[in-house]
Chain A
Amino acid sequence: MKRLEPLIFELSSSGRTGYSLPALDVPETEQAALLPGVELRDKPAELPEVSEVDVIRHFTRLSQLNHGVDIDFYPLGSCTMKYNPKINEDMAGLDGFAHLHPYVPEEGAQGMLRLMYELQNQLCEIAGMDAFTLEPAAGAHGEFTGIALIRAYQASIGQGHRNVVIIPDSAHGTNPATASMYGCTTVEVKSDHRGGIDLEALRAALDDNVCALMLTNPNTLGLADENIHVIAKMVHDAGGLLYYDGANANGTLGWTRPGDMGFDVLHFNLHKTFATPHGGGGPGSGPVGVKKRLVPFLPVPTAEFDGKRYYLNYDRPQAIGKLKSFFGNVGTFIKAYTYILEMGAEGLKRATEDAVLNANYLMAELKKYYLLPYDRYCKHEFVLSGNWQKQRSGVRTLDISKRTLDFGMHPPTNYFPLIVDEAMMIEPTETESKETLDRYIAILKEIDREATEEPDKVKGAPHTTVVGRLDEIAANRKPNLRWRKEG
């Protein structure tokens, strides 16, 4: 029976330590003498005082309070919670990668630089782009990089006045936030009844102030936009560029490439499509790929090969500023590199097909019990609505999700995209078996039955998790964001 865990500070006992350092073997001088004029701490930071066994037990027990992909189904839409192959972890942990200093002489990093160079090229091939930067640390970071590249390019051809970014109403929140961060205003265009961008609305929004259109394809409804080539032409004709948000790349990888769809710049989420682990919220990695005309603006350095040796190229006079220190989340993209090599072209395409097959299977079965607003073949994810249950007995998507926890599975993404009421965005991924999918279908079928016959059971869920629903109102009215020692 799981129980809650005290804070590490509450487990502390004065004087206990959990570390071992060799004794100081150089002559010791008084700190004040070594640091003249510098103010030193007069009291230590209130860090824990625990032994190693305390630390291991504490964090082991904490870990047991989590759900993970390694435990059971995790169908969060747009997150691509696919299984993380363990060989990827081992490769990233190799001493020659994990313990390599970023400023090591290049001669001592040839294998590392070769990996980066090869990964850049592999991503170009997968994306249909001409060059990649591995520097952005996450998807949103990649989006910011992409907009910065577009604006730098437009400034260079006298189009720097363009500062409007168009996004669909189904867009992920990072898209408009990114545009704002770059001083751009966002214009939202609505989706049509098929779930794609409404072409008339787009036409009306395109003028010579438009910098870019940011699009996810397939979109957050899991639907491929049937007019993408038309959209690309419309935007280009108006002088704008197309940005591809790669969050949903798992739906089409191997079948079509963003570069071939007409996109000028994109980011991939390696922690989604390329199986690097989510880590409880990070680290991710969001490499950005570009077409030829944007290549001069990529940030420094890029990994290159001169025929004999691999090196970091800092000689990029038109480069935009850096997005983060050093070269990117190397430890993360080693895992993606390993994944690409273990899957190969056929494996990647097959993964996409299985992801799409799994999603359509779930959709076909679940639409019997839950409202499906867009009834057409989806790609790797689809969106249901909890409206039938809400109308019947007031049971909402939130309740359905909490009840799902009682059955040991993680619920889908809730209340997103915003254009669907009581939305449930479901993405099974390709690494789930039919048995797991059937179990999920059975669970949702049962919850639907309960919503009709025992609604209070659903509204009061979860019942079997270690904590029940949390008081978020109190948490937000009087935030308690840290522990403080009494007295």
Chain B
Amino acid sequence: MLAAIGAKSIEELFADIAESTRLNRALDLPAPMSESELRRYIGSLAAGNWHVGDYTCFMGGGAYDHYIPAAIKHVFSRGEFYTAYTPYQPEVSQGTLQSIYEYQTMIAELTGMDVSNASMYDGATSTAEAIVLSVITNKRTHVVMSHGLHPDIRSVCGTYTHGQGVTIDEAPVTAEGTTDLEKLAELVTDKTSCVIVGYPNFFGTIEQLAEIAKIAQAKGAIFVVHAHPIALGILKPPGELGAEIVVGEGQPLGVPLSFGGPYLGYFACLEKFQRRIAGRLSGMTTDTRGQRAFVLTLATREQHIRREKATSNICSNQALCALMACVYMSLMGKEGIREVANQCLQKAHYAQKQIAALPGFEPVFTGPFFNEFAFRTPKPPAMIQAALAERKILGALDVGRLYPEYQGVASFAVTEKRTKAEIDDLVAALEVVSK
């Protein structure tokens, strides 16, 4: 091959690397391992971790232990899906393009919106992108977010808007665990670009979306809702309650916990925004032979064409995770998503009631909740967490570490995966460790 190139050595091909910048030594990395050595070593790193296969998980806080149907892995493990690239050559990418189109449809249906994109990095960045889209649309530079949104969401929104001259105000949370509507109405002015709340929020409580929509609309602000996709199996979709943009974390839809990522930011909105929405879009069209087919659409929104005028710099999405969610929603279907949501609701309320009956455990919030709730605990949450872990239970998320004003508060999440026996064990364990 060197002969064909006309070079005498590989070194010649690197001659244009300035001498002063050359490494001239081997990289200081561990010696290479064979496959079996890798399995042994990396396996040992994995083996000691407290994962939800071994531990009963009652933790939430933005990542949930839902049941992942077996079929999902068999779909996304197909090399044709996971070793494919972005579908820029649609003639050989109909698999990816059609599954994205199906995913877009399902998300739009769940949220009550007109259109969804092909996914973004996670729920927090989707929320930030909603702000960016609002600001571009109405050219206002003030945002009001509920303090009840996960701190990571609020932090990411701050990072994304830092260089854009946007100010963000937070509306406080009441004893009910929902956004203080009076304070919210004071904060929202005709300079407010958008209003954002969770549904449910970090504490698990469900906001009065219709009331908040009125507050936003009164000042011409765009109403953005960050919604739990499984809760939408039971709750009225934000699209029917006045939301114009609905975003959220799609991890509960068949994406593994994976210590926090990769997850799935979904982004859905009304048709009027579709030409400025960020992220990829798969659209239906026909080919030269008259067949129905799918293609990346409205590419002129994206960075590779608009460059510095793009809404966002986003290039990669979370395609494989969107595929997982698409398969999940196909398997669960119309009926399944309702049943999962109902089981989450019933089991969470059952658990909450039992825990509330334990001495020393006081519910912190009084508002309606879906499947997550918080308690003031008789001992510090960290202690309870450790004691539960000894019994192979994960729970008592220390809320005070994320919300400094809520010291001594622990939160629990209950999904459809939990059985009555597991819940009863949790309650029994809490009773013991709190003495």
Contacts and interface: CB of A to CB of B under 8 A. Distances in A.
Contact of B259 (A74, A223, A278, A330): A330
Interface string A345-366: 1111100010011101101110
Nearest to A98: B256
B14 A481 contact: no
A321 B1 contact: no
Contacts of B155: 321-322
A325 B286 contact: no
Contacts of A168: none
A470 B330 contact: no
Contacts, number: 682
9 contacts: A18-B333, A21-B416, A59-B78, A71-B80, A95-B54, A100-B51, A125-B28, A324-B125, A330-B259
Given A19-B331, A361-B5, A405-B89, A63 B78 contact: yes
B339 interface: yes
A264 to B, nearest CB: 15
Interface in B316-343: 316-321, 323, 327, 329-340, 342-343
Given A55-B330, A410-B89, A467-B289, A279 B49 contact: no
A391 interface: no
A201 to B, nearest CB: 18
Contact of A324 (B41, B108, B156, B321): B156
Given A101-B65, A111-B49, A482-B104, A280 B323 contact: yes
A104 interface: yes
A111 to B, nearest CB: 4
Interface string A54-72: 0110111011111111110
Interface stretch (A234-242, A253-261, A288-296, A442-450): A253-261
A322 B14 CA distance: 38
B102 A45 contact: no
A140 interface: yes
Given A326-B259, A332-B262, A479-B283, 10 more contacts: A65-B93, A66-B92, A74-B85, A103-B61, A180-B309, A223-B16, A255-B22, A255-B23, A321-B155, A341-B33
A42 interface: yes
Contacts of A4: 94, 291-293
Contacts of A334: 42
Contacts of B346: 24, 26-29, 34
Interface stretch (B179-187, B190-198, B274-282): B274-282
Given A81-B85, A402-B91, A405-B89, A34 B156 contact: no
Given A125-B29, A184-B163, A68 B83 contact: yes
Contacts of A384: none
Q: Which of A27, A95, A172 has the most CB of B within 10 A?
A: A95
A96 to B, nearest CB: 3
Nearest to A480: B284
B330 A48 contact: yes
Chief secondary structure at chain A's binding surface: loop
Interface in B112-138: 114-116, 118-119, 121-125, 132
Contacts of A181: 132, 160, 163-164, 312-313
Contacts of A42: 236
B363 interface: no
Given A26-B350, A468-B289, A137 B125 contact: yes
A325 B52 contact: no
B237 interface: yes
A277 interface: yes
B197 to A, nearest CB: 14
B404 interface: no
B59 A104 contact: yes
Q: Which of A8, A63, A101 has the most CB of B within 10 A?
A: A101
Contacts of B115: 481-482
B94 A62 contact: yes
A356 B14 contact: yes
B359 interface: no
B313 A140 contact: yes
Contacts of B86: 278, 280-281
A282 B159 contact: no
Contact of A111 (B21, B45, B61, B110): B45
B14 A328 contact: no
Nearest to A76: B85
A357 B10 contact: yes
Interface in A14-31: 15-19, 21-22, 24-29, 31
Nearest to B79: A70
Interface in A133-153: 137-141, 143-144, 147-148, 151
A376 to B, nearest CB: 7
B20 A66 contact: no
A349 B27 contact: yes
Please list the 9 inter-chain residue pairs (A to B) with the smallest Cβ-Cβ separation, ordered nearest first. Answer: A326-B260, A344-B32, A108-B50, A96-B46, A70-B79, A183-B163, A321-B159, A279-B320, A283-B262
Given A109-B50, A174-B313, A91 B38 contact: yes
A380 to B, nearest CB: 10
B57 to A, nearest CB: 6
B333 A256 contact: no
A112 B19 CA distance: 39
Nearest to B255: A331
A323 B156 contact: yes
B143 interface: no
A338 interface: yes
B405 interface: no
B297 interface: yes
B415 to A, nearest CB: 11
A37 B210 CA distance: 11
A243 interface: no
A328 B332 CA distance: 28
A480 to B, nearest CB: 4
Contacts of B17: 224, 252, 255-256
B333 A331 contact: no
A66 B81 contact: yes
Contact of A105 (B75, B87, B159, B386): B386
B18 A65 contact: no
B29 A110 contact: no
B105 A9 contact: yes
A174 B303 contact: yes
B235 A41 contact: yes
A122 to B, nearest CB: 6
Contacts of B433: none
Given A377-B12, A481-B101, A45 B237 contact: yes
